């Protein structure tokens, strides 16, 4: 199997490396711009992330293990532009329906469930013990955090971050560039980008340096 270079030597990166190992990769190295890092768990950090072009070779593949959605998108697009091959990783204990489509650069972690006729875009994180039910459409560079549950026929726009333990009701659309807070319950579609928290979800709009107000959706 080819060598794997993971961009981002963090806790998330270690989890990604463990999944890659379970999927058969044996040559795994990290790149990270933090010059003080020498190792990421049992794996070596061999250089800064910005030098990924030096490793674009026929026998080398890449995965971007960075939580920030916009940074992940920028780096993944840069690797692709340079001719690097981006892989998709699925933990052996994930349950993925046969007709699910998952884009390159996405990862499905241990205990995840993705049901029939769902589409997951590029560069997505479907984190530990989360579930995405039938007929959902997940955009590119979305982060579905630990323990999130999406009901059927949910549409999620690009670069959305859904925090740990959040629940999205069926037939709900969430527009691009939203952040859904941990434990939030979304029962209506969201058409305005922003930060949403609470049960049910409310838009948090900053009104001054130190105060926030709730807006119903």
What architecture (CATH level 2) is domain 90-204?
Answer: 3 Solenoid (2.160)
Specify the pairing of strand 101-102 against strand 119-120.
Answer: parallel
Domain with CATH 2.160.10.10 in the chain: 90-204
In this structure, the number of other CB atoms found within 10 A of the CB of residue 3 comes to 15
pLDDT at res. 207: 42
- Integer distance in angstroms from the first to the last C-alpha of the chain? 49
Rg (CA), the chain: 18
Rounded to whole angstroms, how far apart are CA atoms 196 and 210? 17
pLDDT at 208: 44
Please give the chain's pLDDT, 217 residues, in tens. Answer: 799 999 999 999 999 999 999 999 999 999 999 989 999 999 999 999 888 999 999 999 999 999 999 999 999 999 999 999 999 999 999 999 999 999 999 999 999 999 999 999 999 999 999 999 999 999 999 999 999 999 999 999 999 999 999 999 999 999 999 999 999 999 999 999 999 999 999 998 654 444 555 666 6
* Known catalytic residue at 134: yes
CATH code 3.40.50.20 region(s) in the chain: 3-87
Tokens of 113: 């469930």
Catalytic residue among 12, 91, 134, 143: 134
Write the burial class of residue 69 (CB in 10 Å: 0-12 exposed, 13-18 middle, 19+ buried).
buried
Global confidence as pTM: 0.92
Interatomic CA distance for residues 187 and 201, integer angstroms: 7
Q: E-assigned strands of 16-90?
A: 28-31, 39-40, 43-44, 60-64, 85-86, 89-90
- Six-digit token string for 59: 């026998």
Q: What is the pLDDT of residue 214?
A: 66
pLDDT of 35 reads 87
Q: Specify the DSSP element, H or E, that contains 96.
A: strand 95-96
Domain covering 3-87: architecture: 3-Layer(aba) Sandwich (3.40)
pLDDT of residue 99: 98
pLDDT of residue 205: 63
Residues facing residue 155 across a β-bridge: 137, 173
Residue 83 tokens read as 């001719």
The CA–CA distances, whole Å, from 142 to 99, 159, 170 equal 20, 5, 18
Q: Does residue 198 contact residue 182 with C-beta atoms inside 8 Å?
A: no
Task: Tell me if residue 3 falls in helix, strand or coil.
Answer: strand
């Amino acid at each position: 199997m080819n060598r794997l270079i993971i961009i981002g030597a963090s806790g998330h990166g270690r989890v990604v490396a463990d999944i890659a190992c379970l999927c058969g990769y044996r040559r795994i190295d990290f790149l990270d711009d933090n010059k003080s890092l020498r190792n990421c768990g049992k794996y070596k950090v061999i250089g800064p992330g910005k030098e990924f072009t030096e490793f674009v070779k026929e026998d080398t593949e890449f995965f971007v293990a960075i939580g920030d959605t916009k940074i992940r998108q920028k780096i993944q697009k840069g690797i692709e532009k340079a001719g690097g091959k981006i892989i998709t990783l699925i933990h052996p204990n994930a349950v993925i329906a046969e007709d699910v489509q998952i884009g390159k650069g996405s990862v499905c972690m241990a205990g995840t469930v993705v049901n029939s006729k769902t589409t997951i875009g590029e560069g997505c994180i479907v984190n530990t013990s989360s579930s995405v039910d039938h007929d959902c459409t997940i955009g590119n560079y979305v982060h579905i955090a630990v323990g999130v549950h999406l009901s059927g026929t949910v549409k999620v726009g690009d670069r959305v971050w859904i925090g740990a333990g959040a629940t999205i009701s069926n037939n709900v659309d969430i527009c691009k560039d939203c952040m859904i807070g941990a434990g939030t319950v979304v029962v209506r579609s969201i058409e305005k980008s922003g930060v949403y928290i609470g049960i049910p979800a409310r838009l948090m709009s900053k009104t001054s340096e130190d105060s926030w107000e709730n807006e119903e959706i």
